A and B are shown apart, each in its own frame.
Chain A
Amino acid sequence: MNCQPPHLDAPFGLFPVSILKPLKGAENGIKENIRSFFDLDYPHFELLFSIAENSDPAKHLVRELIQQYPHVKAKLIVGQIEAGPNPKVNNLIKSYEAASHDLILISDSNIRVEANYLKRLVAHLDNGVGVITAIVAGRNAETFGGKLESTYLNTFYARWMVLAARFGNPCVVGKSMLFSRKTAERFGGIKTLARYLAEDYMTGVAMLRLGLRVIIMSDPVPQFIGSYPMRDFWSRHLRWGRIRKSQAELAFAIEPLFGCFVSGIAGSWATSQLFDCSWAPVLFLHLVFWCINDLILQMRIGKELSLSAPLMWLTRETLSFPMWLHIALGKTVMWRGRKLVLQPGGLLDPKWGQADA
């Protein structure tokens, strides 16, 4: 990651952006999250909110905000097109087709941004760039589950995302994903992605296959966490983990070796055998060093560090192996009220894309 976007002096008025926001339900903090997009400091953009059903509680929130900001071009689009089992893509297709501009930014509802976010994002556009994504920073966690979520995002995920990008396998996160529609049409547009669970990751794969670059923007994009139940934390990371497993089985299989405890135990045992010393101090030093590194990462990405942070870190590390086991033992995920079955490569079984009773 660079510290500064490369083209902050670009004539942004020449790069109008259609921001697509898929919504489902009025989750915690959603109004302020959405409001932050109305407050963007950018010369030319439009907001397109997608909801699948007319009864969605997010509808009234969006209408209210559209009325409050008459100077911002914004539209609520209701209804979905069933292009495949992925409900998020189905929800987005109408907005994608209705977008006025070539540059499309897909941004999830739990993202809360600074006014200069769009400028700093677009400032990464360059020749040969296919998609610009961002590291997600967990912010404003209130509950135990939320703090765990925040720790997970700001340490484990951030670390792996940067590492994967360095090794030429960048991972695109759908929470903030900017690309050209004209370029996306070269792989069939977003409809092609409706057959995959990780439409964001596959966008990155498609761009790489076209010989284009995947860029991680210089600033992490903040996700408002708030009061996040433990159940949601587990279910989301189960889903993300099963995506990782289906996309790269070998990398998933060796994932625990790169966790703090397994590598620490293996390393301290090896050291004790090699140098005929006790393993316990080596393991202790390893844990302390790892913890300090992760806390620094947490502070830089999450912009906050509470007193409970070391405890949260320890809990997360302790949970990582049971979670890995849980991920390994299944291939179904629950998402947006649907039970979905994952096939190798992240494909979804179309027969299973129905709403769960």
Chain B
Amino acid sequence: MKQLVLGDFHIHSTFSDGKLTIPEIVDLYGSLGFGAIAITDHLCESHSMIGKAARYIGHTLTPASFPLYIEILKSEADRAMKQYQMVVIPGVEISKNSISNHRSAHILALGITQWISADKDALEIVREIKSLGGLSVAAHPVWTRKREKQSYHLWDRREELKSEIDAWEVASGPYFFDEVLHSGLPMIASSDLHHRNQITSWKSVLHCKRTQADVFMAIRNQELSFQFYQEVNNDYPRSTNAPHLVRSPNSDTLRNSPHNQGDELPTPAP
């Protein structure tokens, strides 16, 4: 049966630069009542300087750590379903980093259990994700409003990639991206969580069954809305430019939805 599923599809663990282990992430989201999450650790290029640096300091998945990562994700997905009825989707954030923001691109590959090289062109990567049965998401494709390395490459090529990428992040953490909102591209909102306190952020609310296939279908069909998830006693900044928005499952229009601040969503733990 379809139900409202609170989801976060961009989360980092200690396999890259996150601070929580995969079991800690599962327990955190499971105990807060989330219905679906994707763990997406960085998978950096092997030849670029930034990619090599990430490997030296352990901030990226490598061909050596990837098998362990996938095995742990599998076993934790089983546990999450049994313990919390929560779907855990294996994924990676393919991170192509360059000194130039316009040559940098981060692509979320959800539902992937095989190694994908980040050394290829973005279009090839997206097509490989599709061929492996995964779902691709353009991660924070525009200015993230944070003092950090930006990645505009996908946004620069959005006309070429719009039919290939399944969704574009309209919000990352507490910041909402108007450019994406008004672009007509398929959207998704996630936290890009690295630390425990980043749980307060924009999230996606899907209308689907609690299985990976149904979650993917809901994202592809854009049967989702966006919700700012505020954890109690957390003063994390929230962008003021975005109203609570919902995309109607049967319409292409976005509209304000007073009932989207809803009581049907799980209440954050005190």
Contacts and interface: CB of A to CB of B under 8 A. Distances in A.
Q: Contact size class for A?
A: 20 to 34
Contact of A344 (B15, B62, B67, B76): B62
B71 A188 contact: yes
A181 B68 CA distance: 16
A347 B68 CA distance: 12
Contacts of A39: none
Interface string B22-54: 111000000000000000000000000000000
B68 A206 contact: yes
A130 to B, nearest CB: 11
B39 to A, nearest CB: 12
Contact of B64 (A187, A250, A344): A344
Interface in A40-58: none
Nearest to A346: B64
A210 B62 contact: no
B71 A187 contact: yes
B247 to A, nearest CB: 37
Contact of B63 (A205, A249, A347): A347
B100 interface: no
B253 to A, nearest CB: 44
A320 interface: no
A192 B65 contact: no
A186 interface: yes
| Consensus secondary structure, chain A interface | helix
B197 interface: no
Interface string A333-357: 0000000000111110000000000
A185 interface: yes
B64 A186 contact: no
Given A187-B71, A192-B71, A209 B64 contact: no
Nearest to B69: A209
Contacts of B75: 185-188
B14 interface: yes
A202 B24 CA distance: 20
B64 A210 contact: no
Contacts of B55: 344
A33 B238 CA distance: 65
Given A186-B75, A187-B71, A249-B56, A210 B63 contact: no
A349 to B, nearest CB: 11
A209 B67 contact: no
B21 interface: yes
Interface string A186-229: 11100010011000001001101111000000000000000000
Given A344-B64, A345-B65, A210 B23 contact: yes
Interface string A125-146: 0000000000000000000000
Of the candidates A185, A186, A250, the one having the most CB atoms from chain B within 10 angstroms of its own CB is: A186
Contacts of A346: 64
Interface string B60-83: 001111011101101110000000
A186 B80 CA distance: 13
B151 to A, nearest CB: 25
Given A187-B75, A209-B22, A210-B23, A345 B68 contact: no
Contacts of A210: 21-23, 72
A192 B68 contact: yes
B21 A211 contact: yes
Of the candidates A188, A208, A209, A345, the one having the most CB atoms from chain B within 10 angstroms of its own CB is: A209
Nearest to B21: A211
A73 to B, nearest CB: 30
Contacts of A345: 62-65
A347 B71 CA distance: 16
A346 B74 CA distance: 22
A187 B56 contact: no
Contacts of A343: 63-64
Given A209-B72, A210-B23, A211-B21, A192 B62 contact: no
A345 B67 CA distance: 12
Nearest to A195: B67
B270 to A, nearest CB: 24
Nearest to B14: A209
A175 to B, nearest CB: 22
Interface string B202-223: 0000000000000000000000
Contacts of A186: 71-72, 75-76
Interface string B110-126: 00000000000000000
A219 to B, nearest CB: 30
A211 B68 contact: no
A188 B22 CA distance: 15
Interface of B: 13-15, 21-24, 55-56, 62-65, 67-69, 71-72, 74-76
Interface of A: 185-188, 192, 195-196, 202, 205-206, 208-211, 249-250, 343-347
12 contacts: A187-B71, A188-B67, A188-B75, A202-B68, A205-B68, A208-B14, A209-B15, A209-B68, A211-B24, A343-B64, A344-B55, A344-B64
Cβ-closest 3 pairs across A and B = A345-B64, A188-B71, A211-B21
Given A211-B21, A345-B63, 18 more contacts: A185-B75, A186-B71, A186-B72, A187-B68, A188-B75, A192-B68, A206-B68, A208-B14, A209-B13, A209-B14, A209-B72, A210-B22, A211-B24, A344-B62, A344-B64, A345-B64, A345-B65, A347-B63
